Amino acid sequence: MSSTPAQRRSLALSRAPVPEEDERAIARFLDALWAESGVAQATLESYRRDLEGYARWREGRGGGLAGADRAALFEYFAERTREGYSPRSNSRLLSTLRAFFAHCVRRREREDDPSALIDPPKLPRSLPKALTEAQIDALLSAPDVATPLGLRDRAMFELMYACGLRVSELVNLPATGLNLRQGVLRVMGKGSKERMVPLGEEAQHWLERYLAESRPHLAGKRALAPLFLEPDGEAPTRGRFWRLVKQYAVVAGIDPRRISPHGLRHSFATHLLNRGADLRALQLLLGHSSLSTTQIYTLVAREHLQKLHAKHHPRG
């Protein structure tokens, strides 16, 4: 399949070197961000990609990060929009640029923040896609627990649904984070914030089976840190978990297009709210820094109730 001129320009730009001065400025910003806020490595890498992309684009126009002004930022966002970048991607980029230029102003490397008066693009409201309780039961029952990997997958799915974990939290769990005696899980979330989450009897049962029957088979005689293991002794990747979710969705009779890697987390939150959970408690369980992030699930629950009313009420 042939690429478009915009795609070819974008590819060439991604391979261009970042000017040394800009590279040093980006490194100083990321070091300060990590030291001050404890930002996760994945977030730092995302910031790096955004800033390096803009620095390369500016260098091709006789500038660099140091020479950026509001007109140049407008031009860059306009070009990205023409090339098909989504509003969500541009919104994330704007957040990165605002953090970078605010850092430069604090260090007196610049007098102004050229991103300050740029409005973020309007984002469409996207509600988390939750499965029904029947679909969850089918999905959790899909792995073949007679095999080491199937038993591992059942334990992973049960734990993610029981604790509302993010995919990154699940695949990066160390074995030391699990306390079966007390029935709790210690999770390191976004921004290196730690939280304790109760396991629940069902998840604890499958974890005990996995640790007794499956993990020793996968680990052999090696003392390995990750809780969940691949046959090579490494932790599953996010991509691997994505493929497992899709694979088992087909087995469970669920349209794989209607499920996401975070589907179990979204279902955990929605089902708790549907059964009367307190929003503040849900915020703590999910590890959200702001209650407004958790409130999106109230919209999902409300939408579910409206559908039930329309389906079953005589005048619905």
Q: What is the DSSP letter of 214?
A: I
Mean pLDDT over 158-165 rounds to: 88
Residues in the chain: 316
Catalytic residue list contains 47? no
Model pLDDT for residues 51-75, shown as the tens digit of each residue: 999 999 888 676 778 778 888 888 9
The one catalytic residue among 58, 166, 215, 266: 166
Q: Output the pLDDT for position 251.
A: 94
| 166 assigned to active site | yes
- In this prediction, residue 67 carries a pLDDT of 74
Mean pLDDT (whole number) for 146-159 = 95
184: which strand partners?
179, 198
State in words which class domain 5-106 has.
mainly alpha
Task: Choose, from 190, 195, 209, 238, the residue flagged as catalytic.
Answer: 190
pLDDT grade for 314, boundaries at 50, 70 and 90: low
Q: What is the pLDDT of residues 29-58, one digit of tens each?
A: 999 988 887 777 888 999 999 999 999 988
Nearest to 206 by CA among 262, 248, 154, 255: 154
Can you list the alpha helix ranges (DSSP code H) found in the chain?
A: 5-15, 20-37, 41-59, 70-82, 87-106, 133-140, 148-163, 167-171, 201-209, 215-219, 238-251, 263-274, 279-286, 291-294, 296-312
Contacts of 199 (CB under 8 A, 6+ apart): 159, 162, 163, 180, 183, 184, 185, 207
262 catalytically annotated: yes
> What mean pLDDT comes out for the span 308-314?
56
Q: Is the pLDDT of residue 262 over 70?
A: yes
Domain positions in the chain: 5-106, 133-312
Backbone angles phi, psi at 178, to 5 degrees: -100, 130
Question: Phi and psi at residue 287, in whole multiples of 5°?
Answer: 75, 30
> What would the DSSP string read from start to end of 247-313?
HHHHHTT--GGG--TTHHHHHHHHHHHHTT--HHHHHHHHT-SSHHHHTHHHHHHHHHHHHHHHHHS
Look at 283 and 194; give whichever has higher pLDDT.
194
CATH, range 133-312: 1.10.443.10
pLDDT of res. 7: 45
Known active-site residue 302: no
Q: Is 266 a catalytic residue?
A: no
Q: Would you state the pLDDT for residue 228?
A: 94
Is residue 8 predicted with pLDDT exceeding 70?
Answer: no
In this predicted structure, which of 21-25, 86-90, 133-137, 269-273 has the lowest mean pLDDT? 269-273
The average confidence (pLDDT) of the chain is 82
Q: How does DSSP assign 184-200, residue by residue?
A: EEEEE-GGG-EEEEE--
Same fold, 5-106 and 133-312: no
Pairing of strands 184-188, 178-179: antiparallel
For the residues 163-188, what does the mean pLDDT come to?
90
Of the residues 154, 262, 266, 271, only one is catalytic, namely 262
Mean pLDDT of 10-24: 72
Find the range with the poorest average confidence among 55-69, 115-129, 227-241. Answer: 115-129
Is there a catalytic annotation at residue 222?
no
> Residue 138 corresponds to which amino acid?
A
Q: What is the pLDDT of residue 260?
A: 80
